[in-house]
Structure 1
Amino acid sequence: MKLGKIKRINDLRSVWQHETKDFSKWLAQECNLQQLSDAIGIDIVLEECESSVGSFNVDLYAIEEGAERRFIIENQLEDTNHDHLGKLITYASGKGAEVIVWIVKRARDEHRQAIEWLNQNTGVKIGFFLVEIELWQIDDSAIAPKFNVVERPNDWAKQMKNVASLSETKQLQLNFWQQLSEYIKSNESFAKEFSARKAQPQHWYDLSVGSSSYHVSLTVNTQKKRLGAEIYIPDDKDKFAMFKQYAQEVEESVGGKVEWREADKATRIITLYSYDISNESQWNFAFEWLMNKALIFKRIAKQFDK
């Protein structure tokens, strides 16, 4: 058997001559942005290239798919420097970003330490990623990019800093969603349909269904003792009306009562189930109910979103 020889292409500018005109334009393509999403573990949806921040522009401005977290992505086809670190902070502030991604050729030790320090000393909602972009080739094959994450948020450490101050209900919610995330990862039929999200001490847990205009949301109500699964549409009444045209088919697919709720902006297509999550030994039943309903809602969205 003849094997190829793998080699690293050190000159990034042999492929992308200019950061903005070439690399940012390449990264903005959906298939390439997906590679970055896979590397950092968060689904990214591009909003704008060269997005204005006062008299400056951030390379890419994006949001998390199925959620409201704002991203900035700053590219640097060279070693990290203080100038770009300063820009990163400026752009994050100007955009109110919660996820900050710095893509570079090589991360200097002092800048790795700076990003690590920022992750340790910012709030639980803020996360910094330092990512090296590499180019590899096997013999004369096409050159392939690889994102190597060298610094990332320590979400567990940040959460632990805040758990002590959480109420009993918030601690229960956090634990419930953390175990649901593990349940998704360990269940192949659900893992191939949904990416497990970071758990938060709140009553909802969002899942992407491949659309930026709506997502599936799972809920727990500890006071009324019930679970909920829904299609949540933040601000698109036309989309809600479109789904409602198929109300009978939706209810038949869900296999139970469906409520069609409208507020000033947001709309919800929701089904509920009486359940008390205080009994941890029964959580697997709750996880199964929630994820089966999430899967049904994803199929509904695919079938009727025309």
Structure 2
Amino acid sequence: MGETLGIDLELEAQEKSVGPFRADILCKDIGTGSWVLVENQLERTDHSHLGQLLTYASGLEAVTIVWIAARFTEEHRSTLDWLNKITDESFRFFGLEVELWRIGDSPAAPKFNIVSKPNDWSRSVAQAARAIDESELSDTRLKQRSYWDAFHQALDKAAGPVSGARKPQPQSWMGYSIGRTGFNLGAVMIRPKRQIRAELYIAGDLAKSFFHLLQEQKQAIEQELGYELDWEELPTRRDCRISVYMTKVDPEDERDWPRQHEWLAAKVNDLHRAFLNRVRELDADEWQKERQAGGATGQEATEI
């Protein structure tokens, strides 16, 4: 769904209370920090779900609302179009029809078709959803915020190009600028896999093109760093990342935080030094021309 909408999403909650109702899925737009509420309806759209969407919109100050259904009636599609027209830029309404598709012998996968979207889809949300109240933070979220607070102290101590002068967030990642839209350095904790990760994250419609241009410099970059990177094209997603991992670690073990943070600070600064100028000099037209000249091959998708 995030790939279809062009939004990088992080799951926040299921069955989230909004007034007397419960939203099916609550996500966070990683790019803006704003809420994305998803209402699922595995049948034709009806007035009851439309009323719930309006309740969600009134219950939050700024939100993207996604209505997923097997089929939209013309009346409900036109209603979403009207809502996008009359509301200010704090709100975005999307209508998605879901299908199942199979490529060759692969397992069936959902395919989303956009039937309604904001008039100016690329506009930025003016204001993130209301800040999370301290009382609403779980123990996990509080621990995450403490983790990044300590990490920022390690960044400042390292005195590298990446500054720790940022407000720690109660989430599993932190992002840092590298001077070009669509590119961010990231520090990530992956608690279920007992990993932490430093990365260059590449987002946007040209992410694949930029990724391949950087990959052509793989040998020089890794030689400069002195270690290998994971070049993750993420074929099922729009975005890509280039990363390095520390494994067999427990981000919840505060006694081990100094070691983890020293490693993360070193790697985030390494990536900044290695990629700063390379990112600025990227020209996607170069890769697009090479790709078009080489032709394209693929396998047709069949609907089931």
The TM-score with structure 1 as length reference comes to 0.48
**Whose relative contact order is higher, 1 or 2, with alpha carbons under 8 Å and at least 6 apart?**
2
